[in-house]
Amino acid sequence: MNAMPDPVKAQAAKAPPLLEVKNLSVRFSSPAGEVRAVEDVSFNIGRGESVGIVGESGSGKTVTCMSMMWLLPSPPARYPTGTIRFKGKELDRHREREMQKVRGSGIGMVFQNSRLSFNPGYRIGSQVNETLRVHLGKEWKKELPRVIEMLRYCNISEPERVLRSYPHEVSGGVAQRVSIALALLIKPELLIADEPTTALDLLSQLEVLRLLERVRKETSCSLVLVSHDLAVVRRVADRVIIMYAGRVVEEGPTADIFADPKHPYTQGLLASTAQKEEGERLYELPGHPPDLAALPQGCSFRPRCVHAFAKCLTMPELLPAGPERVARCHLLDAGREAAHHG
């Protein structure tokens, strides 16, 4: 690591981060009991930073990123604890009008299946215009040339034709790039992309990934990329947050985490996606993610963990695991103690 004082980082330390998530918990009711979808999650997103959130289905990553702009209707979602600060100002989820201003213009969002995130009953162009109208008021027509420009920027070759089309008439890849263009059009300071490549074919995946990389390099917009695919995150994110059963289990700079994962779950994830070599069997994590309505005692990963020991019956805290790194595992504590004694 570079020990020289970085002027950008020094400034970032003084100013509040772009987005602060603090002690966020999200719950749903189900017949089987209370589902703890997200449990006491805290993290920051810096200005211009690109953060990846990784986890399996049910790890709470989608619920977390939707809660970053209080998107989930409540009920059914319940928020026992949690504050979100955007540019130092707390977002009040009960103030619908204020949230409407932040949504779209401050924080933009791209969903997993963009064809489904456009209303099938209206042409794409009219949905783009609607968004412009809502955020720019009477001035919106002046921005129309910029729409075409932005679509071209997002590699849409025939923007006029796409705008005239209904969502079902364009491919998933085109729809995804249009929705990225639409999100960028209002110049948000943070773009959240929830599994933006998962529903796409390989070629479209690459195109969308290239576009996200380009956005990261060429704009000042911060990026949150949610994915279960480590390869995707590795390509785009500066920093990675690993989630398991609704909690953050590890967090740190992308390169460091991929080089030396600290949490047994991260280790398992990396091993299962590692390049398969001749004759070597692909590693697979044993077991299933836990039932969020009936979490195991102590560490949620304990039933699947090969290193589990007696102490794991209590929930571990997030412990320091290197420069700018934390992980939620008793092994770190035990390791530190062992190192101390040795």
Partner 1 sequence: MTTMLPAVATEGMRSEERIPLSAFQQGRAAFLADRMAVAGLAILVLAVLASIFAPWLTSYDPNIGDTDAYLVPPFSPGHIFGTDNQGRDILARILYGGQLVFPEAVIPVVVASILGMALGLIGGFFRGVFGEIVMRTLDVLFAIPMVLLAIAIAATLGSGPPTVIVSMAVVITPYVARVVATTTAQLRNAPFVDAARCAGFSRWKILRREILPHVIPAVVVYGTTNMGAMIVFAAGFGFLGLGAQPPTADWGAMIAGGMKSLASAPWISTVPGIVIVIVAVAFNYVGDGLRVALDPRLRTRR
Partner 2 sequence: MISYTLKRIAMAVPTLVGVSLVTFLLLRLVPGGPVQAVLGVASTNPAAVAAVTKEMGLDRPLYEQYFIWLGKALSGDFGMSTQFRVPVAALILPKLQNTLILTTGSLVYAVVLGILIGVVTAIYHRSLLDRALMLVTLVGASAPVFWVGLLLIYLFAIKLNWLPAMGMSSIAGNSGPFGVLRYLILPAFANSIIAMAVIARIVRSSMLEVLTQPYVLAARARGLSRYRQVVVHAFRNVLPDAINITGLQVGFLFGGALFVEVVFAWPGVGYLMYSTIQSRDYVTLQAAILLVSAVFVLVNLIADVARMALDPREARA
- Cα–Cα nearest to 332, from 292, 284, 299, 283: 299
| Nearer Cβ to partner 1 (28/79) | 28
Task: Decide which of partner 1, partner 2, none touches 325; Cβ closer than 5 to 8 Å per partner kind.
Answer: none
Q: What is the DSSP string of 160-188?
A: HHHHHS-GGGS-HHHHHHHHHHHHHHT--
| 196 near partner 1 (CB under 8 A) | no
What is the pattern of x (binds partner 1, CB under 8 A) and - over residues 50-79? -------xx--xxx--x-----xx--xx--
Contact 216, 224 (CB under 8 A): no
275-294 residues near partner 1, rule: CB under 8 A: 288-293
* Residue matched to tokens 């989608």: 62
| Nearer Cβ to partner 1 (36/216) | 36
99, 100, 129, 133, 139 from 136: Cα distances, Å? 16, 13, 10, 5, 6
What is the pattern of x (binds partner 2, CB under 8 A) and - over residues 163-192? ---x-xx---------x--x---x------
| 130 near partner 2 (CB under 8 A) | yes
Q: How far is the CB of 118 from partner 2 (least distance, A)?
A: 6
| 176 near partner 1 (CB under 8 A) | no
Say how far residue 48 (Cα) sits from the centre of its chain.
Answer: 15
| 37 near partner 1 (CB under 8 A) | yes
* Residue matched to tokens 């074919």: 201
Say how far residue 100 (Cα) sits from the centre of its chain.
Answer: 20
91-120 residues near partner 2, rule: CB under 8 A: 96, 100-105, 108-109, 111-113, 116-120
Q: How many CA atoms lie within 13 A of 308 on its CB side?
A: 16
Question: Tokens standing for 174?
Answer: 């085109």
| 228 near partner 1 (CB under 8 A) | yes
Question: Tokens standing for 32?
Answer: 């089987």
Inter-helix orientation angle 172-185/144-153, to 10°:
130
Q: For binding to partner 2 (CB under 8 A), which residues are involved? A: 66, 69, 71, 75, 96, 100-105, 108-109, 111-113, 116-123, 130-131, 134-135, 166, 168-169, 179, 182, 186
Binding site for partner 1 (CB under 8 A): 28-32, 35, 37, 57-58, 61-63, 66, 72-73, 76-77, 111-113, 116-117, 194-195, 228, 288-293
